[in-house]
Chains A and B, each alone.
Chain A
Amino acid sequence: MAQEVSLREAYGKTLVELGRGNPDIVVLDADLSRSTMTRFFASEFPERFFDCGIAEQNMVGIAAGLAASGKIPFASTFAVFAPGRCFDQMRMSIAQPGLNVKLVATHGGISVGQDGTSHQSIEDLALACSLPGITVIVPADAVETAQVIRAVATSYGPFYIRLCRPKSPLVYNEGYRFNLGKAVTMRQGTSATIIAIGIMVAAALEAANNLKREGINCRVLNMPTLKPIDEAAIIKAANETGAIVTAEDHLEHGGLGSAVARVVARHKPIPMEFIAINDTYAKSGTPAELLKRHGLTAKDIEQAVRSVIKRK
């Protein structure tokens, strides 16, 4: 098993590094800086850190005003609260005017675990992707998180970046370079393609390894930029492997699976299976228990690959 590292910590430390290099970087939080890890930035640059208290809508609006005045704001809270609680603020204060706000939400998905339904964000990607003009990114591990945070700091426009709560296995080494808008081929293969995001990338790689023993050679794509999605990589996978399984810690509606299916339906209809949460709320449990209960494990991906191949 690869080393497990915190994405949130990678985020917090990268912010500090960016702050040292660029005085226009400012950071906002809503009384969660110890969880989102923006506190690293807060302690080094107190004058450029704004704790807005437990008032997420106000935080999103303030971030928009800072961006409209030339600052590069990173605003953080839990994904259930932004976009969840701040959808209209994201829509009118950030997305419509196309302002340079980087909303970095942590605690995405059911891998949040014991805190239960209120804290498990399973709709955030659907909400964020529904907003015209916002770029949506889901890093797969700590290495990719650091890369993504650096990339968005120098890329003008509104971004939504979703991080998970638990430490996650590294799927990249330090030499990895994130390429905005591009899928990453994690593993070549011709039997089927598994397209995954976030914590499901590690599970997809594990599934591909196990399937190899059965003679099934899966291609694995990580799709860190969920919107705009890398259509070329999906079309190529559809042409060359003839079957696709998507995997995400999010509702089946409006997330990765929906986005991939739209491309497939338009350009190269082939059989697909979807590993995602099926129109329900999760409850308390350990992350591993919940992922198992909701069918988000390597074993579930393997089963989906076997059945999608039969439909080729």
Chain B
Amino acid sequence: MPLPESINLPITSVDKLKAEVFSSLSVTEMKMIAKRLRRHIISTIGKAGSGHPGGSLSAVEIVTALYFRILRHKPQDPQWSDRDRFILSKGHAAPLLYATLAECGYFPVDELPTLRQLDSRLQGHTDRTVTPGVEMSAGALGQGLSFAIGIALAGRLNSQNYRVYVLLGDGECDEGQVWEGAMSAAHFKLDNLVAIVDNNRQQIDGWNRDVMNLDPFNKKWQAFGWHVTEVDGHDLTQLTQAFNRAKLIKKQPTVIIAHTIKGKGVSFMENNPDFHGKAPTATEVEIALKELK
């Protein structure tokens, strides 16, 4: 399903983005990008007939702020060794990452509708062996923070000043490995590492507090030795400020707890656990895209 071009990014911004080492779009431009990403998420999952819209939609602003304001990266040179790294630990949000990478120019936007098809580079969950720009093969929750720690340690050993960003789900934080990682990142004093938790307060079986209570979440990270900030995860200004402030924190990793709404932007998906891992029907796609005009 080709995307209606109703929300076109000013051509100058796109050019700027593709040409430069890192981009710095305005908040207004980023808002337009965010809407485009949401449209891609809905259309690609709708076309595939399966996938995870809820947790993709909740993290749209987090990923937009990173790729269009914060990360130093070269879409034309995905293996550039000084690039900032973005690790998507909650690999089921792959449709969001694919849409973002395509909009940045890592691969053609035309490729997005191949999501989940046989021989597509866009696998159901992220696969670093096939998709340009994808750093980690994820999908088995709980592994991304450890992987990010290894990359951060290597950066320090090599005296490279890249920064490492890893996006976790809040439900994902039920996994013991996340806390093994949390303990070790603080122990290794990794101030080049930022974890972002997409704190949409839901997982598959319902609300976190009913499935497995994470509270006091903020205090847990603090107790593990992290610098903790909390932001509105749909506010691009708050997000970029938090990412920039994290650069000033020394000898300690930073976690940004981003308060979000699962399914954000599509009325019937918001806070609705049914849309964690269910594709919208053709009619639902139509309604959703109308809402995202």
Contacts and interface: CB of A to CB of B under 8 A. Distances in A.
B199 interface: no
A270 B154 CA distance: 51
Interface stretch (A46-54, A247-255, A274-282): A46-54
Interface in A70-107: 70-71, 73, 88-89, 91-93, 96-98
Interface in B126-153: 127-129, 135-140, 142-153
Interface in B180-234: 180-181, 183-184, 187-188
Majority secondary structure, A binding face = helix
Interface residues of A, number: 31
Given A50-B188, A53-B184, A55-B183, A92 B153 contact: no
B147 A65 contact: yes
A90 to B, nearest CB: 11
Contacts of B127: 96
A89 B143 contact: yes
A49 to B, nearest CB: 11
A69 B154 contact: yes
Contact of A68 (B138, B139, B143, B147): B147
A97 B140 CA distance: 13
Contacts of B135: 68
Contacts of A64: 146-147, 150
A93 B143 CA distance: 7
B184 A67 contact: no
A234 interface: no
A65 B151 contact: yes
A61 B140 contact: no
A256 interface: no
Interface of A: 26, 47-48, 50, 52-53, 55, 57-71, 73, 88-89, 91-93, 96-98
Given A65-B148, A66-B151, 16 more contacts: A48-B157, A55-B183, A57-B143, A57-B180, A61-B149, A62-B184, A64-B146, A68-B128, A69-B150, A69-B155, A73-B150, A92-B143, A93-B137, A93-B143, A96-B127, A96-B137
7 contacts: A53-B180, A61-B149, A61-B181, A65-B146, A66-B151, A66-B154, A69-B155
